[in-house]
Structure formats: structure tokens, C-alpha cells
Structure 1
């Protein structure tokens, strides 16, 4: 399942300057968690398909979405494509080793690398997730101008964004650690769905913690834009 990496890719590479609707934000979770989980248990329990085959087939659902998203966007999403390559390469390795655990654990690789990358860039004062924050705070033309001006001229503003980025970098790494703990300690059929729990915990936790720095960011943007 590649939901964490899909979300991470959208956060890091950038997003549209228009805020997404709640449904559009939930759709990737439905496609990348609901469909793969449903297809895995359906194939295994209803049709008697072996564990490795059921896991591989269910993993093709988010892979197909990655391809479709890339084609629709008209340009390659480098991180998402890297995850797709990782998924494709892991299939023959899983078949050769006969280890479905490897197939389940490999999803953490891309997110772990991303978490380290986001953290390192934040420590270098180069917040790479700024585009993910901007649409939710700078939602008017005046606020967009204020954001751009503050980003260019205010060290305090950039520092707040850097700390918010670091929250997500650490969150991605912790998500991987919890995922691997679940994969290697719980029964496999339980781990298939339980590996998604760290994802939700990470999203909720990071969203709450980041407010400590994004709330002041919003205040600075509103003040610079002449809005309350």
C-alpha cells in the first residue's frame, strides 16, 4: 500500500494554489487504502488466492492510480514514479523470496527516505513543503502577495515555516518505524490493515503540532495583507 508516499509526494512536490474540497482530500485515502485492503481480503478469503498473489494484486491499485495521475497531469511526478518503480521491483523479489512480509514492509522505504530529506532540508533552512501550507493560509490575492513578500524578506516567517516542515519530516520517519514494528511483530493478516494506523496517527499528530508555527504564520500573512 503506498498511501503514505502518495500523500508525501503531494506535500513535497507541491500542490495547486486552490484549496481542495474535503472529498478530494479523502479520495486518495479511499483509493489507496480502501480498495487495496478490500481487494486483498476479497481475493484471499472469498476466492482462496494465496497471500503473496493477493498482496501483489491489491498493490497494483495505487500503482495504477500513480500512472493515471501522472498521465493526467501531463508531466512526471518524480517521487510518485520512484515509488511505482519500487513497487514493480519488489514484486519479483517477493516472488523469489516467498516473503509477503517484505512486500508489506517495503512501503516504508520511500516514506523513510522522504522524511529524512524533508528533515535535512528543514535543518538547512530550505523548507520543501512550503507549497503544501500556502494554499490553506494564503487563500486570497492579497494574502498570496503578503506570503511571497514575507517569504522573501522575513527571517522570522521563514523560520516558522522551517519548523513546521521539520514536524512533518520527523512524522514521516516515525510513521516508518511504527509500520515496521507492526509488520514484524503482528500476524500478517492483521498487519495488512494495521500498517495504516501509523499513517492516520502521523497525519493527525503532525496537523495538530504544526499549528504551533503555522498559526503565527497565518497571523503574519493576515497582518501584512491588511486583513484580520
Structure 2
């Protein structure tokens, strides 16, 4: 429980508060207005994180881009169900990008991991780039890229089915469980894969 406490504000901002805002705004502003109101807590949370850490992480970028897509969909006459797919469409685009990167020389996970290592030390960056010459390391990076590509694409497909078959209120309650559940599985498998790659690099 002590490890989960730091996640509670994020879960509240991205799960509970959007649903409460939707319930409050629905009688007054209609379905589209309520959906726009439900984006306000994630937007505020992203702003707070930006002020605290002076950076916008991947989740914040997804939220901000989702809100912009929502507003654009409204201007173009988008329906409430189209608005509900805003974050999932972004996830799907990222998933396809991961999968397409497997066709090139180095997949996306390699570049993301290299950027993380580069912030830690120049020596670590040098060792990381040298490890690309190892067949086991290349296979591990490609498997992680495949994992995230398939996972994000699957999330988009599941949310599309939910949008087309569920009432809006039920979707707002259940869709975060799908998203967080898949994200948790992918993070767990990524963590496991990272441990295996580190074990391969350790001297015998």
C-alpha cells in the first residue's frame, strides 16, 4: 500500500474526477459539454506536473493532445462517441509507430531507452550503444517494441468496441481499468525484460 499511495493522486485525476465532472456537467451542458468538462482534471494535473518537474512526460502529452483532438472534433461536428476515442486514437497511432519501427534498422524502444541512458551518464550511453552489436540485446529490444506496439494497438481496439457498445457513463468508468490494466501488464513485462538484458550484460 505504501508503494501505491504516490499513484493515488494520478488515479484520482485521471479516473475519478473525470467521471465526477461528467456527472455534474451532463444535466447542464449536455453530453458533448460533459465530455469536455471531464478533460479538465487531467489537464490541470498535467499543468501541475509541468510546474513541479519542469517537463511534460509521455502521459501528459497524451492528455494534452487528446484535449486538442476533442476540441477539433467539436469544431468539425464530432459526435460524443468520437470524442471518447480521442486518447485511444493517439495510443493506436503510437502502437502502429512501434510496429512499423520494427521494419527499420533500430526500433523505437532502442531510441527511447538510449535517451533515458543519455541523461544518466556519457559512459552509460557508450556502453548501451555498444550492446546493440549483441544478438541477444537486439532481440530483447525488438521484443519490447513488439510488446508495446501490440499492447497499444490492442487497447485502441478494445476501447473502440466499448465505445460502440456501452453507454457513455459506463465507458468512462470502465475504460480506465482497461487502459491501466494493459499498461500495468506492459510495464511489468518491460521491467522483466530489462532485468534479463542486464543479467546478460553482467560479467560471468
Query: Cα gap change, 1:211/1:67 in structure 2, threshold over 3 Å: closer, same or farther?
Result: closer
Q: Is the 8 A contact 2:49 2:55 kept in 1?
A: no
Deviation at 1:117, TM superposition (A): 1.1
Match of 2:13? Answer: 31
In the alignment, structure 1 residue 156 sits paired with structure 2 residue 136: yes
Match of 2:22? Answer: 40
RMSD: 3.9
Q: Is the 8 A contact 2:96 2:153 kept in 1?
A: yes
Match of 1:62? Answer: 42
Per the normalisation by structure 1, the TM-score is 0.67
Equivalent-residue separation in structure 2 for 1:184 and 1:56 (angstroms): 19
In the alignment, structure 1 residue 87 sits paired with structure 2 residue 71: no
Query: Cα gap change, 1:147/1:62 in structure 2, threshold over 3 Å: closer, same or farther?
Result: farther
In the alignment, structure 1 residue 181 sits paired with structure 2 residue 161: yes
Equivalent-residue separation in structure 2 for 1:159 and 1:167 (angstroms): 12
Among residues 141, 148, 152, which one is paired with 1:168 in the alignment?
148
Match of 1:97? Answer: 77
What are the ranges of 5 or more consecutive residues in structure 2 without an aligned counterpart? 115-119
Among residues 66, 73, 97, which one is paired with 1:117 in the alignment?
97
Segments of 4+ moved more than 6 angstroms: 76-79, 131-134
Deviation at 1:133, TM superposition (A): 6.5
Query: Cα gap change, 1:80/1:64 in structure 2, threshold over 3 Å: closer, same or farther?
Result: same
Deviation at 1:156, TM superposition (A): 1.9
Match of 1:10? Answer: none
Deviation at 1:104, TM superposition (A): 0.6
Match of 1:201? Answer: 181
Per the normalisation by structure 2, the TM-score is 0.73
Equivalent-residue separation in structure 2 for 1:48 and 1:73 (angstroms): 36
- Structure number with the bigger relative contact order (C-alpha 8 A, sep ≥ 6) is 1
Q: Is the 8 A contact 1:114 1:169 kept in 2?
A: yes
Deviation at 1:36, TM superposition (A): 1.2
